[in-house]
Amino acid sequence: MKQGILNLSREEVAEFLADKGAPKYRTNQLFTWLFRFGKTDFSEMTNIDLSLRRALDEWFYIYRPRIVRSDKSIDGTIKFLLELADKNTIETVFIPETKRNTICVSSQVGCAIGCRFCNTGYHGFIRNLLPEEIVSQFLIVKDYLDLWHSQTRPPPKPPQSDLLLGDTEHRSGVYSNVHEHSSTGSTKEETDCGRLVRGSTERLSNIVFMGMGEPLLNHKNVLKSIDLLMSGEKDGISRRKITLSTSGIADILKNIAKDLPCRLAVSLHAPNDSIRSKIMPINNVHNIKSILGACEEYKKYHEYLKITFEYLLLDGINDSKECAQELLRLLSNQTCKVNLIQFNSWQGSQFKASSRNKTLEFARILEDGGIEAPIRARRGEDIMAACGQLK
Ligand code: SAH
Ligand code: SF4
């Protein structure tokens, strides 16, 4: 039976090929075809000799999920519903910004953590994603937006698009119609998306594990996929541009801290255990102290990568002045940043977003206390693509 080549690390592919008597440089060539040119067919890898191409095709397949639909937000964000081989579906979100393009990937089908404010958690857990199912979310967005390098010439540089929104300013209320289209063929909309993206940058520059699922509960496959995403020759993504967001599974974080090659974001969302346990029942297992302890372990190995604490502001729950002051004390000896997140509502959710004034006041208290506290822009809310709206 064929193996998925995107389930193997670069070292594993090299070892496999060495066993078959192929020279070492073939692995480099293969990875260039996979990650620089986005090929899904071995027969197109023309600098690999024909007999090896045929053999590769007998040993391996190159995975892509199927795009069931894509929804484009007024702000340029595109949400993809992807169908996996077993018919389960996941969501991946593409977020264009002025200086970068980010892709938000899922790590599991559903999530077992059950945070009260999260739509994904509300729908429960189905299964972990394989490395190829994680990596291919990135690859298929590049397919869709036609972002692959041409083999003969660099991609063109059209003028800047002024349709793109900034990435830190709050833009609620500016959304109008939902632009919807299904996406199997080449449509005008797709071409427009491609232009929009290249107007800001030619690459998918950033990856965040902030889609469906708790990445640390699938850490083996997630680490392998990060490794693959970083190893794509010149087009590999730098560790500084990959962020793993976790609800804080302290023991796992501690164990893998050394091997986690990327940035870390921790969904804190409360300044103390009593509030946190009410909105995140997982806090009864991994409390704030144990999470901060695990963060210390991460910092030992990644001194140069500042940790981000995510803080979702929920009206009347965790958004008071006192909460901001308590958070400041809690994080007083951390080198960190706090990302303030506005609640994205979904049908059946019991929370309300904090008001604009409260959000600004919360940010000001943190900033005055010396902690950087940007308010994260809402992206793709009109198409239910924002954080916590995926299901
Ligand atoms: N499971 C991981 C990563 C996926 S969730 C984690 O929890 O960190 C990504 C981010 O979205 C987390 O910070 C999460 O707390 C936040 N989030 C969940 N539901 C949300 C909602 N309804 N509105 C805004 N942010 C939400
Ligand atoms: Fe899972 Fe993250 Fe949602 Fe919590 S916020 S239920 S950990 S996806």
pLDDT digits (tens, 9 = 90+) for 203-214: 788 999 999 999
Instruction: Read off the pLDDT of residues 273-319 as tens digits, 9 standing for 90 and up.
Output: 999 999 999 999 999 999 999 999 999 999 889 999 999 999 999 99
Nearest atom, ligand 1, residue 344 CA: 23
Alpha carbons within 13 A on the beta-carbon side of 255: 9
Instruction: Read off the pLDDT of residues 144-195 as tens digits, 9 standing for 90 and up.
Output: 999 987 766 554 444 343 333 333 332 222 222 223 333 333 322 222 333 3
- Domains within the chain, CATH numbers bracketed: 3-61 (1.10.150.530), 66-391 (3.20.20.70)
Cα 311 to middle of ligand 2, angstroms? 13
Instruction: Read off the pLDDT of residues 310-324 as tens digits, 9 standing for 90 and up.
Output: 999 999 999 999 999
3-state secondary structure the chain: CCEEHHHCCHHHHHHHHHHCCCCCHHHHHHHHHHHCCCCCCHHHCCCCCHHHHHHHHHHEECCCCEEEEEEECCCCCEEEEEECCCCCEEEEEEEECCCCEEEECCCEEECCCCCCCCHHHHCCEEEECCHHHHHHHHHHHHHHHCCCCCCCCCCCCCCCCCCCCCCCCCCCCCCCCCEEECCCCCCHHHHHHHHHHHHHCCCCCEEEECCCCCHHHHHHHHHHHHHHHHCCHHHCCCHHHEEEEECCCHHHHHHHHHHCCCEEEEECCCCCHHHHHHHCHHHHCCCHHHHHHHHHHHHHHCCCCCEEEEEEEECCCCCCHHHHHHHHHHCCCCCEEEEEEECCCCCCCCCCECCHHHHHHHHHHHHHCCCECCECCCCCHHHCCCCCCCC
By most ligand atoms within 8 Å of CB, the mutation choice from 107, 116, 120, 210 for ligand 2 is 120
Cα 388 to middle of ligand 1, angstroms? 5
By most ligand atoms within 8 Å of CB, the mutation choice from 128, 318, 341 for ligand 1 is 341
- Which ligand minimizes its atom distance to the CA of 113? 2
Cα 329 to middle of ligand 2, angstroms? 26
Task: Answer with the residue of higher pLDDT: 389 or 243.
Answer: 243
- Which ligand minimizes its atom distance to the CA of 350? 1
pTM of the entire structure? Answer: 0.88
Ligand 2 pocket (Cβ < 6 Å) reads 111, 113-115, 118, 120-121, 213-214, 247, 267
Q: Does residue 309's CB lie within 6 angstroms of at least one atom of ligand 1?
A: no
Cα 114 to middle of ligand 2, angstroms? 6
Q: What is the percent of the chain with per-residue pLDDT over 90, rounded to a whole number?
A: 74
Q: How many CB atoms lie within 10 A of CB 37?
A: 14
Task: Answer with the residue of higher pLDDT: 72 or 185.
Answer: 72
